[in-house]
Amino acid sequence: MTSEPEPTMVPSGERASEPAMPSMARPKLSPLRSALPFLVAGFLLWLLARKLDFDAFFETLAKVDPFALLGFAMLWQTVLLAADAFGNFVAYRRTMPQASYIDFYLFRGASYLPGMINHHLGQAYMTYLQARLLKIPLARMAGTTLVSYATWMGCLVGCMTIAVPFTDLPLGFVPVVLVCGGLYLLVVSRPPRFLRGVTLLKPLFEAGLGGHLRALVGRLPHLAVLVLGTWISFRLFGIRIPLGTALVYLPILLVVVTLPITPQGFGAREAASATFFAAYAPGATEPERIGSLAAASTGWAVSITLAAILLGVVCSRFVDRKLARLQPEPATEVIG
């Protein structure tokens, strides 16, 4: 554990124009809107269930040792958290110079619990948590989160772009990706005047090309652990996806899983896996192959969810102690 953080360094004049922590009203969601992600997940799983062979589904699950699977999921999730925290350590370093690597590990781990609903909700909670604990304006912290998002997308797209020439897949999207990436870097390096004063975007411009490059390099271990672990998880269930194909489609799968349409990507993960990898699953018929893929996707998703909950609970305990120290102590009444 680290010592209490010192006041953060932000550009002069910024604190005067922005409150350190603006009040945040909790949005009220209607019951239908709250249930919508679960309804979408149920609908996608229902569509998939109509196509799969349930005998193949349960046979695939039966071939895997559940304790070995859970053990690997726990090990992988722990290493993934370490790699993710390192990527955040690099990306947020300019805004949070006083925070240690252990702080980032705990902040990201604590965000796993709200992230059970959706990945982006977890990211939003981590952003709020860091802003509150380190007394940094929330808008500025959110802007630094955009830097992290930008470099993460750069890693995913770069992985796909590099892998495509080594497969028999079409190259059509590569020029489009390169043009879009070039335009983004141009805006970051030479921001238009009307955008320079936007607090949310200041961290992007302050990072510049060099900061984005450092953040991207710092994010590579996270990408490597995530893609490699997901690829190995399919192999544990007997689904042997060629590495080149995996490097192209797994980044797309990872993006689909994080879309705010289903809780923890359930339903979306299985549907995307069946679309991309059905040709590599064992089985004489398409329903059998889809059944094997659904078993692999669901079994892995449940395993890593349990591991993430455990890590989230442990990290949240440490973060709660930090939050408790922020609360003002009650005044002591002197008698006499």
Q: What's the pLDDT tens digit per position in 214-250?
A: 998 999 999 999 999 999 999 999 999 998 888 888 8
pLDDT of 22 reads: 42
DSSP tag of 18: S
Segment 291-336, tens digit of pLDDT:
999 999 989 999 999 999 999 999 999 999 888 887 654 444 444 4
71's CB contacts (< 8 A; 6+ apart) are none
CA distances from 138 to 67, 86, 92, 111, 213 (A): 42, 21, 13, 16, 24
Residue carrying structure tokens 């930090």: 322
> How many other C-beta atoms lie within 10 A of the C-beta of residue 125?
17
Q: What is the DSSP string of 115-127?
A: GGT-HHHHHHHHH
Single-letter amino acid code for the residue at 103: D
pLDDT tens readout for residues 203-220: 888 888 888 899 989 999
Is residue 30 over pLDDT 80?
no
CB-CB contact of 148 with 88 (8 Å): yes
| Distance from the first to the final alpha carbon of the chain | 40
Please tell me the distance from the alpha carbon of residue 192 to that of residue 199, in angstroms, as a whole number.
Answer: 14
- 145-178 per-position pLDDT tens digit: 998 888 888 887 777 777 666 666 666 666 777 7
- Cα dihedral value 146, 23, 129, 13, nearest 10: 60
Res. 189: pLDDT tops 90: no
Residues whose CB is less than 8 angstroms from the CB of residue 83 and which lie 6 or more positions away in sequence, other chains included? 221, 222, 224, 225, 226
Written as one letter, the residue type at 154 is: G
Higher pLDDT, 189 or 20: 189
Residue 50 structure tokens: 């109509």
What DSSP assignment string belongs to 39-66? HHHHHHHHHHHTTS-HHHHHHHHHTS-H
pLDDT of residue 206: 86
- In angstroms, the CA 158 to CA 255 distance is 14
If you average pLDDT over every residue of the chain, what do you get? 81
Question: From CA 128, how far away is CA 42, in angstroms rounded?
Answer: 31
Helices 101-110 and 66-91 cross at an angle (nearest 10°) of: 120
> Mean pLDDT throughout 270-298?
88
Map tokens 């080149």 to a residue. Answer: 244
The tokens for 319 are 């973060």
Q: What is the pTM of this model?
A: 0.79
Contact 112, 309 (CB under 8 A): yes
- For residue 189, count other CB atoms closer than 10 A to its CB: 12
pLDDT for 36: 73
Predicted pLDDT of residue 12: 40
